[in-house]
Amino acid sequence: MVVSKKIKTFLRSNPPKTHWHIDPVIANDTFFCLTKHFKCSVNTFFAKLNLSSIPLPTSIYFETWNSIKMRRIQKHNEYVKSIPFSDFKVFDSVLSQIPNNYMVQSSNSSTIRYLQLFELNPSLTVFCNRGTSGIDGSTSTAIGAACVSQQSTVFITGDLSFFYDSNALWNHYIPLNFRIIIVNNRGGGIFRILPGNKNSENFSTFFETNHLLDAEPISKLFDLEYTSASSKEELDTALVDFYKQSSRPKILEVFTPSSINDQILLSYFDFIK
């Protein structure tokens, strides 16, 4: 599933001549132009595809898109340096400090949207429940995946998604190296990013669902180690020890200023244009 609506719309309104989907089971016709479904794994497909026998046309396709990508990365780095502590800045610190070969589990909604804006360490494997994109069940999924795969796992989540599924912590199977990072912006930050009037009580009560909860009492209840951070310095300090071996799973809760998060994200898109 392509997360970005802008990219989905772009590809739908600029359809390719052919669209091949490679998957052993299912082929979603996301761009309404699917021409062929190869029912096999990606590795099998590329092992059988004899590229040297295919005459390749001369094309500037790669150079064109690669230079756009490079420029975007450069603008991205410039922007991150210039912004104050916010959701965006938290993702920059957090994503650059996940150890190699971790599984990253993401909740919905702005968590996965921020995640896709960053160049990730290619040794990480990233999962998120997309489809109906519920904020429910992400913690349960992350814990289940960590148990079954036995891969070191960090779960990154928003506060509402975390509190919604806190019952996921009530079991005896959470691996000791399981890590949770809660980006607590005191409500549904995604709704501030979407267009509409944000300065009304109706907005904060019924859309953003403002709250003052923090995860410390829940960590005590379920016997998890707890740390919090409210600035870049505190976050970077907390991350130094966060992935070290421990006798209990850990939660790191990062408090961000909800009033500036949306503006920082929206200005990012203007800046990299």
* Dist. CA 143–CA 148, nearest whole Å: 9
Residue closer to ligand TPP, measured from CB, 31 or 162: 162
* Dist. CA 15–CA 141, nearest whole Å: 34
Q: Smallest distance from the beta carbon of 181 to ligand TPP, in angstroms?
A: 12
Q: Smallest distance from the beta carbon of 105 to ligand TPP, in angstroms?
A: 14
- Which residue, judged by CB position, is nearest to ligand TPP in the bound state? 158
Q: Smallest distance from the beta carbon of 127 to ligand TPP, in angstroms?
A: 16
**CA-to-CA dists, residue 129 to 7, 117, 240, angstroms:** 19, 18, 29
Residue closer to ligand TPP, measured from CB, 86 or 110: 110
* Dist. CA 230–CA 262, nearest whole Å: 18
Residue closer to ligand TPP, measured from CB, 123 or 167: 167
Binding stretches for ligand TPP (CB under 6 A): 107-111, 133-136, 158-161, 185, 188-190
Q: Which residues neighbour 50 within 8 Å (Cβ) at sequence distance 6 or greater?
A: none
Residue closer to ligand TPP, measured from CB, 107 or 153: 107
Residue closer to ligand TPP, measured from CB, 31 or 163: 163
Q: Smallest distance from the beta carbon of 223 to ligand TPP, in angstroms?
A: 23
> In 3-state terms, what secondary structure has residue 242?
helix
Q: Smallest distance from the beta carbon of 165 to ligand TPP, in angstroms?
A: 9
**CA-to-CA dists, residue 56 to 28, 38, 59, 61, 159, angstroms:** 28, 21, 9, 12, 50
